[in-house]
Structure 1
């Protein structure tokens, strides 16, 4: 606690004046399901001790939390949520989220440029970015291309993200690129997945599903976001992160404020706490999140397990949110028609 309540944290959050008013308040947040033990230790419990409040954590994937925000639009339950850039833009278009006063986030200027108002609408702030590639068993198979996911020796041993997930469209895009078509309609890769549909163990919706499947040797390879990599590294057998010849794509996860929700000031304090150098460093060292805070410094060993550093941040090619949104219905229609559920 002393580290988290260091002079940086105390000066940054200015919670002393707000702690009394925060007492007996409950902050309800909606987050991804993975690494919740680590988030509890590094983020939730320390903040609760500072603010004198309670935190209720709801989990689910990005699409699920967006749907719940829409269902509860008239009487919001969630004060703060994390989601993909594209889903944040969708929430903005549906008038589900409020403007964020970035001047109240004392850690905002510490963020990489890609994390600062990434959708350029004043309604989200990035807290972690990630590369997307393929986790695989090098003792079972060699991965040199995204197209290797379709090769015969992986039939019945590979998982692929559902098109509705954050990893689905980027993985399909890279597969299409490997097949000679980098068009935004994703027709070529969806057709390829459909042709090999029976060769996939599952079209997963949560990355947490994959560690167990690989542990049980039901799969040998799967496209994943780098944020999920830590779960694959301690399983007692070799697992590697592929560097396909076509390259890697990635994504950015953001924080948003639910429009009309209670305790938005408390939610802003929580967001600022999460973006602090102390907290982002601890999350990085625990291999939970790649830091959006550019002041975070970690060892080479840790960095090798993350999407880390200014050079990486500057070079990461993100699919624009408007492309994701404007093409998503067509992608889903193709997927449902050709791949099925």
Structure 2
């Protein structure tokens, strides 16, 4: 009896030991199944991005999203210097994504696997036609001004040249996201398409604008203080900046000039040497979905490109949405990027 009890105990111990090993092994295997997706982005609103975009994707696909943050130039340069980095996806402003594509840093996208790309607005489709990563949001540059201090209504880009605005306006520096748009705007004043003369007539108009310019700004946050102090009465600025300006200077209006605002698209691209391209495609499709685009519009203030997203007047008041998109202009960075070195030199001689 005693021998039988000992044998049974040994057998049970052996079974439990193997069961324990199996359980431990299963845990290890389960843990190893979690994938990693490295996303390079700006690092703005990280908590809201995690809540509205990244966390739901992680849970659905059993993946850990790791962020690499920095500004457009820093991150693109880093990828260029180390194309074999772990980065899978890169968020960039349109001019920088065009540069990355030209330098062979990104992979072309198989849009048959990104079905939500069929839902983007007509202007955003031009990004898709290049074959590289799509635009997932957009913003625009227009005019913020205080009508009580200008003494007249600003309706046209050409109004910025009026002598009444001498020493009273701010414009974005040429090296910022919307800097090249200032050359296009000056081309409107010159009545010459910048593509016809590579901006020659536009730069003559920028020189004529100089007496009106207090500051060529690199940080849009500077505008808030300048409007609040009365240092400026008008500025060429982005839609996402106006919300902060209006808080400190409630009399300031934001107007789309009669010739149309200028659009910038923010894009998502797949790094050429990503080892997770299928998962990256799934993420892009997810980012373009009506569900995610609605969440980011309402939670992060990002203008949607998906035409199925419906926003109220209140929800869309500071966004580039609806008819505003159709009436706005785009910038051809295939044309602009090769000219930027020359444009920066001219700009610095004239305005800085």
Q: Could you say which TM-score interval applies, normalised by the shorter chain?
A: 0.7 to 0.9
Structure 1 contact 27–266 (Cα < 8 Å) conserved: no
Change (3 A) 1:229 1:259: farther
Change (3 A) 1:81 1:155: farther
**Unpaired segments ≥5 residues, structure 2:** 1-29
Q: How does 1:154-193 map to 2 (within 5 A)?
A: 154-184=165-195, 185-193=198-206
Whether 1:72 and 2:85 are equivalent positions in the alignment is no
Structure-2 separation of matches of 1:133 and 1:30: 25
The alignment partner of 2:342 has SS state of: helix
1:216 Cα offset (Å): 4.8
Structure 1 contact 145–178 (Cα < 8 Å) conserved: no
Q: Deviations over 1:242-283 (max 9, x none)?
A: 232333232322211121134444433332332121221122
The alignment partner of 1:164 has SS state of: coil
1:101 Cα offset (Å): 1.9
Task: Find the partner of 1:147 among 154, 158, 161.
Answer: 158
Structure-1 separation of matches of 2:109 and 2:266: 16
Aligned position for 1:53: 64
Aligned position for 2:269: 256
Change (3 A) 1:45 1:137: farther
Q: Deviations over 1:59-109 (max 9, x none)?
A: 31x444333322222x32532222233432321221111111222224222
Larger Rg: 2
1:312 Cα offset (Å): 4.5
When the two chains are superposed, the root-mean-square deviation of aligned CA atoms in Å is: 3.1
Structure-2 separation of matches of 1:294 and 1:159: 33
Q: How does 1:114-133 map to 2 (within 5 A)?
A: 114-116=123-125, 118=127, 120-133=129-142
Structure 2 contact 98–333 (Cα < 8 Å) conserved: yes
The alignment partner of 1:53 has SS state of: strand
Aligned position for 1:6: none
Aligned position for 1:3: none
With normalisation by structure 1, the TM-score equals 0.79
1:52 Cα offset (Å): 4.4
Change (3 A) 1:233 1:293: farther
Change (3 A) 1:59 1:219: farther
Whether 1:319 and 2:328 are equivalent positions in the alignment is no
1:299 Cα offset (Å): 0.7
Q: How many residues align?
A: 318
**Unpaired segments ≥5 residues, structure 1:** 1-18
Change (3 A) 1:56 1:200: same
Q: Deviations over 1:293-325 (max 9, x none)?
A: 01100112333432213x554454322232222
Structure 1 contact 48–55 (Cα < 8 Å) conserved: no
With normalisation by structure 2, the TM-score equals 0.76
Structure-2 separation of matches of 1:121 and 1:288: 27
More helix by share: 2
Aligned position for 1:334: 346
Structure-2 separation of matches of 1:154 and 1:77: 50
Structure 1 contact 190–339 (Cα < 8 Å) conserved: no
The alignment partner of 1:234 has SS state of: helix
Aligned position for 1:295: 308
Whether 1:96 and 2:105 are equivalent positions in the alignment is yes
